[in-house]
Amino acid sequence: MEVDGNTVLARSLKEQGVEYVFGIVGIPVIELSMAMQAEGLKYIGMRNEQSACYAAQAIGYLTGKPGICLVVSGPGLLHVTGGMANAQVNCWPLLVIGGSTFQDHEGIGGFQECPQVELSRPYCKYSARPAGVTLIPQHVEKAVRLACYGRPGAAYLDFPGNLLLARVPEEKVPKQYAHPEPPIAFPSEKCVRQAAHLLANAKRPLIIIGKGAAYARAELHLRQLVHQTNLPFLPTPMGKGVVPDLDPQCVAPARTLALQKADCILLLGARLNWMLHFGRAPRYSEGVKIIQVDLNPEELHNSVLSSVAVQSDIVPFTEQLIDELANMHFTFDNKNDWWVDLRAKCDKNRKIVDKMAQDVKVPLNYHAVFHHLQELIPKDAIIVSEGANTMDIGRTFLHNKWPRHRLDAGTFGTMGVGPGFAIAAALVCRDRFPGEKVICVEGDSAFGFSGMEIETMMRYQLPVVIVIVNNGGIYSGFDKQTYDDMRSGGDLTQVTPPTALAVETHYEAMMGMFGATGHFVRTIPELQKAVKEALVLTDRPTIINVIISPQADRKPQDFQWLTESKL
C-alpha cells in the first residue's frame, strides 16, 4: 500500500503531539490541510497569514507544544515572516509549514517561486526542506524538538508540491520517535549560595518576574519564594499572574521607584532589554547587583555585568534558593524602610489613577473604561491586549490572578497580534479550561491590523469579547470639528495628520455581517450593560466599541516610558 507526502507529513505531526493547525490554504497545500484533519489534527482556517502565525505561536506559549502555521508558497510564506520573528523574539514555540513551487519548475519562473528556506532562516532556529517523502518524519521531529528545546522559538519546513504528491510504499516510511520533554538545566550550588547571600544582605531587594517564568510553569515555586521571604516583586507585562497582581507584595504601582532604587535584583525569566530599560542608569542605581537566571547562557551578562549569572531552569533554581534562604532563616523585614517607601509610592500612585478612573464624564478616559471593565470581567479571564496607550494603561487596571493569562504585543512590540492570540486562547479555554473567558482589549488602530479575524471567531463559535477602546487615532486622535477643519480645502494626503483615523468609526457594526449586533458605547452604564451581555454568550464573539476622548492619555510619568538612545 502506498501513501503520499501529505499523509506522511500529517501523521508525523500527529506522532509529535501537535494538536492545532492555523492557516490559509491554496496551491499546493489544500490536500495537506485535509490530510491533517483526517489524522485528527484541529485545523482553523484564518483570514490572514500573519494572524495564523500569531495564533499558532500563542498556542505554543499556552500549551508548551508548538502550534502549526500552514501557508502557501511565495507571498503566503512572506506574510508570516513578521509572525516568525515575533515568536523567535518572544521565545515561543512555533512550526511554520510552507508549500512551495514544484521542484522541476524552480529556476524557470514557477508559480510563486521563492527561496523560502533561505528567507526563513533569519527568523527561526531551524529551516529545512526534506529531500524525500521518507525523510519527512525525521525533519518534523527535529523541527518540533528545536522549537521547544533550549530557548523556544520558531522552525520552518518547506514542502514543494511534487514532494507532497509523491507516493512511496507505506512500509518504507520510518516511524520516528517522539522526543521526551525538554531536559531540565540545574543551577550550580555555588551560584545559588551567592544569590542567597546577596538577597539576604540587600537593603532594597527586588524580584522581577518575566514571561519566561510563566512559560516554565514556575508559579507555585515563585509564590512560595515571595511569601516565604517577604520580598517585593515586580512582574513584566506577561509575567503578570505568576504571582497574583493583587498580592500585597506586588509593587507594580511603584515600578519606577522599585527599579531606580533597588540595590539587588533577582531577575527570573526576563531579559534586560528595552522593556526593562537595559538594566542601566538612570533607570537603575549605579551599583545595583543583579542576579540573572536564564536558560540561555548567551543571554547572561547581556547589556550589563550581572553579579551572579545562573544558567538554569527557573523551577530548580527557585527550589534550591528557597531551601538556601530557609537555612539562613531569612525573611525580609516588613517594616523595613524599603517596604515603607514602596508602599507609600504604591498608595500615592493608586490614588492618582483611582481619581482618574472616577472621572466618568463623556467622552470617557482610558482609566474610567479599564476600571469599570475590571469590575465586571471574571478574575480567571485570559486578557489579550494590544495598542499603545490601550495596552500600557490597561496593564495597570486589568489584573491577572493566574499565569499565562495575559497576552500582548510582547518583546517585539508587534501590532496586529490581538485577534490571533484571542483565537488561540479561546481554543485552549474550550479544550482545557471550560468556562474561562477571553477578553480581547484592542486599540482602534491595533484592531485595524487583523479585524477580519472576527469572521474566524464566528465560524468556529469562539465567544471572544472584543473591547475596542476607540480614540480615533494612533496614540491620539482628534475630535470631529478639529478633524473636519484640518481636512477642509486641501489635498487630503497632505492635510490629514498621519496619526489620525476616522472619527468614531462604528467597528461594532461588523457584527451585522453575521446577523448579530455589537455594542456602541459612550458611557459607563452602557459599557457595563454591554460587558454583562457579552459575557453570557457561549457560541459567538462580540464587539464592544467604546468611544473615548481623542486626547485621553496616561498619568504623568516620572520617566518617558521608552528609554531613549544617547547617540
Rounded CA separation 307/567 (Å): 27
| Chosen domain end from 340, 375, 390 | 340
* Identity of residue 405: H
* Identity of residue 373: L
Coil vs helix vs strand at 268:
strand
User: Which pLDDT score is estimated for 60?
Assistant: 98
pLDDT tens profile 29-51: 999 999 999 999 999 999 999 99
User: Which pLDDT score is estimated for 490?
Assistant: 87
Residues 152 and 233 in one domain: no
Mean pLDDT along residues 74-87: 97
User: Which pLDDT score is estimated for 555?
Assistant: 65
pLDDT tens profile 473-513: 999 999 999 999 999 988 999 999 999 999 999 999 999 99
**Domain region containing 41:** 2-172
User: Across the strands, what pairs with 443?
Assistant: 469
User: Which pLDDT score is estimated for 566?
Assistant: 64
Residues 20 and 59 in one domain: yes
Residues 77 and 210 in one domain: no
Residues 51 and 131 in one domain: yes
Strands (E), 308-359: 308-311
User: Which pLDDT score is estimated for 123?
Assistant: 96
Coil vs helix vs strand at 428:
helix
* 409-424 burial: b if 16+ Cβ within 10 Å, else e: bbbebbbbbbbbbbbb
Using the predicted structure, report yes or no on whether residue 560 has a pLDDT greater than 80. no
User: Which one-letter DSSP state was computed for residue 416?
Assistant: T
Q: How many CA atoms within 13 Å lie on the side-chain side of 323? A: 7
> Which grid cell is 396?
495597570
User: Which pLDDT score is estimated for 563?
Assistant: 76
Residues 388 and 317 in one domain: no
Residues 200 and 156 in one domain: no
- Assigned domain for 402 exists: yes
Residue 156's alpha-carbon distances to 46, 80, 106, 117, 169, in angstroms, are 19, 11, 19, 7, 26
Q: How many CA atoms within 13 Å lie on the side-chain side of 280? A: 13
User: Which pLDDT score is estimated for 559?
Assistant: 64
Please report how the helices 5-15 and 30-38 are oriented relative to each other, as an axis angle in degrees rounded to 10.
50
What confidence tier does 458 reach under pLDDT thresholds 50, 70, 90? very high
Residues 335 and 363 in one domain: no
Using the predicted structure, report yes or no on whether residue 257 has a pLDDT greater than 70. yes
Q: How far apart are the first and last CA of the chain?
A: 67
Cα angle for residues 472, 475, 480 (degrees, 5° grid): 25
Q: Would you call 387 exposed, middle or buried from its count of C-beta atoms within 10 A (0-12, 13-18, 19+)?
A: buried
| Chosen domain end from 172, 202, 223 | 172
- Assigned domain for 566 exists: no
Rounded CA separation 148/171 (Å): 29
Number of domains in the chain: 3
Number of other residues whose CB lies within 10 A of the CB of residue 339:
18
- Assigned domain for 290 exists: yes
Q: By percentage, how much of the chain surpasses pLDDT 90? A: 95
Stretch (H or E) spanning 165: helix 161-165
User: Which pLDDT score is estimated for 554?
Assistant: 67
- Assigned domain for 351 exists: no
- Assigned domain for 7 exists: yes
- Assigned domain for 453 exists: yes
CATH number, domain of 235, equals 3.40.50.1220
What confidence tier does 175 reach under pLDDT thresholds 50, 70, 90? confident
Mean pLDDT of the chain: 96
Q: Whole-model pTM?
A: 0.96
Residues 468 and 528 in one domain: yes
Strand order in the sheet with 382-386: 406-407, 382-386, 438-443, 465-470, 542-547, 519-521
Residues 324 and 416 in one domain: no
Mean pLDDT along residues 94-103: 96
Rounded CA separation 148/158 (Å): 19
Residues 533 and 386 in one domain: yes
CATH number, domain of 413, equals 3.40.50.970
Stretch (H or E) spanning 98: strand 94-100
Return the sign of the alpha-carbon dihedral for residues 273, 279, 282, 284. positive
Mean pLDDT along residues 317-335: 96
User: Which pLDDT score is estimated for 562?
Assistant: 73
What confidence tier does 196 reach under pLDDT thresholds 50, 70, 90? very high
Rounded CA separation 322/196 (Å): 9
pLDDT tens profile 221-256: 999 999 999 999 999 999 999 999 999 999 999 999
Using the predicted structure, report yes or no on whether residue 565 has a pLDDT greater than 70. no
Residue 471 CA, chain-centre distance (Å), reads 24
Q: Cβ(99)–Cβ(32) under 8 Å?
A: yes
Residues 514 and 366 in one domain: yes
> Which grid cell is 190?
555555588
- Assigned domain for 347 exists: no
Number of other residues whose CB lies within 10 A of the CB of residue 43:
16
Residues 280 and 387 in one domain: no
- Assigned domain for 28 exists: yes
Using the predicted structure, report yes or no on whether residue 108 has a pLDDT greater than 70. yes
| Chosen domain end from 142, 172, 202 | 172
Q: Which residue blocks in 442-507 are alpha helix, DSSP H?
A: 444-450, 453-459, 480-487, 492-495
Q: How many CA atoms within 13 Å lie on the side-chain side of 177? A: 4
